[in-house]
């Protein structure tokens, strides 16, 4: 398709429909942008770049009237899609989970009391010192109802007495996970999915694998103490961080829970004003998304 053909498209559209076409392109660009931001920083991003190159090449080949190259590139990018789904299933699950957990109004976000972090850190410190094995989940935005249903429902205050009793080796509840929801101990003995990440060392225990398994599909913060070594681990956003010091743990929980909430509130207020910095942030991804949207729009118009 040359420049003259592109220009000829607009009279065919009609002036009254130009607004709809612009909205169509904008929505496609928005979808691409959100998809890129969801997988940014994950392994899926690299294969997605290759997929975009093949799709873009296939569209260009079609527009230029090169049937053999079009068929070849289309065959490759369909295989690329299957590889993206199979190989990067954990990352895609995490991305889709985060997409579904987004809140449009900051007032309904999960809130955390100031004393919350101090209580958790104090309990984890005792567990670490006494080498008490534990698995504690802090719910953020993604609901954990499915996992709560697998355990024993409680509704207790966060305290060493309660959690210490739950994770005592004599307790029938000590093998599962505890869920903390809205500053309350909501459930105990909850069953979690086990991570199948092949990069985990073979020495990784079941508690740590379960913590990572949940972190791969939700945005929860999961704390683990080892009953063999007393070492502390934290899992979130598909990652497992081991041998965490107490001071570092405190800062991590503050950033992930309390400060994250404050940032979301500030972000919402920022969006209401739409400053110049907001519009120009991540401009490379926005430009790429717009280019892809325009390319697809021309391709569809050519077919029609």
pLDDT tens digits, one per residue of 167-200: 998 999 988 999 998 889 999 999 999 998 888 8
* DSSP letter for each residue of 14-25: -HHHHHHHHHHH
- Res 284 pLDDT > 60: yes
User: Quick one: 213 and 284 in the same domain?
Assistant: no
Residue 196 has phi, psi (to 5 degrees) of -110, 20
- Assigned domain for 155 exists: yes
Full-model pTM: 0.59
User: Quick one: 139 and 249 in the same domain?
Assistant: yes
Tell me what pLDDT residue 211 has: 95
Q: Are residues 173 and 166 in contact, defined by beta-carbon separation less than 8 angstroms?
A: yes
Give per-residue pLDDT as tens, 20-67: 888 888 898 888 887 777 666 555 666 677 777 777 777 777 777 788
Q: How many structural domains compose the chain?
A: 2
User: Quick one: 97 and 185 in the same domain?
Assistant: no
Give per-residue pLDDT as tens, 220-258: 999 999 999 999 999 998 899 999 998 899 888 888 876
Q: Are residues 163 and 123 in contact, defined by beta-carbon separation less than 8 angstroms?
A: yes
User: Quick one: 49 and 134 in the same domain?
Assistant: no
- Assigned domain for 222 exists: yes
Q: Are strands 177-181 and 134-138 parallel, antiparallel or unpaired?
A: parallel
pLDDT band (50, 70, 90) for residue 91: low
- Assigned domain for 76 exists: yes
- Res 11 pLDDT > 60: no
User: Quick one: 125 and 260 in the same domain?
Assistant: yes
**CATH, residue 156:** 3.40.1700.10
- Assigned domain for 271 exists: no
User: Quick one: 238 and 174 in the same domain?
Assistant: yes
Torsion of CA 137, 143, 146, 150, to 10 degrees: 30
- Assigned domain for 224 exists: yes
User: Quick one: 88 and 125 in the same domain?
Assistant: no
What is the span of the domain harbouring residue 36?
A: 3-102+276-303
Sole residue written with tokens 């991804």: 285
- Assigned domain for 16 exists: yes
Tell me what pLDDT residue 92 has: 63
User: Quick one: 248 and 297 in the same domain?
Assistant: no
User: Quick one: 181 and 63 in the same domain?
Assistant: no
User: Quick one: 159 and 258 in the same domain?
Assistant: yes
User: Quick one: 133 and 120 in the same domain?
Assistant: yes
pLDDT band (50, 70, 90) for residue 96: low
Tell me what pLDDT residue 177 has: 96
User: Quick one: 185 and 221 in the same domain?
Assistant: yes
């Amino acid at each position: 398709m040359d420049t003259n053909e592109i220009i000829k498209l607009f009279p065919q559209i009609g002036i009254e429909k130009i607004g709809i076409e612009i909205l169509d392109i904008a929505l496609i660009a928005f979808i691409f942008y959100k998809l890129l931001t969801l997988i940014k920083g994950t392994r899926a991003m690299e294969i997605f770049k290759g997929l975009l190159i093949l799709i873009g090449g296939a569209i260009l080949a079609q527009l230029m009237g090169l049937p053999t190259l079009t068929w070849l590139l289309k065959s490759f990018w369909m295989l690329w899609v299957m590889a993206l789904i199979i190989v990067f299933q954990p990352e895609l699950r995490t991305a889709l989970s985060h997409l579904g957990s987004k809140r449009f109004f900051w007032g309904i976000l999960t809130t955390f009391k100031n004393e919350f972090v101090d209580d958790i850190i104090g309990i984890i410190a005792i567990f670490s010192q006494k080498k008490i094995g534990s698995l504690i989940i802090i719910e953020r935005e993604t609901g954990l109802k499915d996992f709560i249903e697998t355990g024993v429902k409680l509704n207790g205050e966060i305290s060493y007495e309660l959690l210490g009793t739950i994770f005592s080796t004599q307790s029938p509840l000590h093998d599962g996970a505890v869920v903390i929801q809205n500053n309350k101990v909501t459930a105990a003995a909850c069953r979690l999915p086990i991570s199948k990440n092949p990069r985990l060392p073979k020495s990784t225990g079941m508690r740590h694998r379960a913590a990572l398994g949940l972190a791969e599909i939700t945005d929860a913060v999961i704390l683990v103490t080892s009953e063999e070594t007393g070492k502390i681990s934290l899992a979130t956003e598909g990652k497992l961080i081991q041998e965490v010091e107490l001071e570092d743990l405190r800062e991590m929980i503050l950033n992930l829970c309390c400060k994250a909430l404050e940032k979301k509130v500030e972000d919402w207020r920022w969006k209401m004003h739409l400053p110049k910095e907001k519009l120009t942030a991540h401009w490379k991804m926005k430009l790429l998304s717009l280019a892809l949207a325009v390319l697809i729009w021309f391709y569809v118009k050519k077919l029609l």
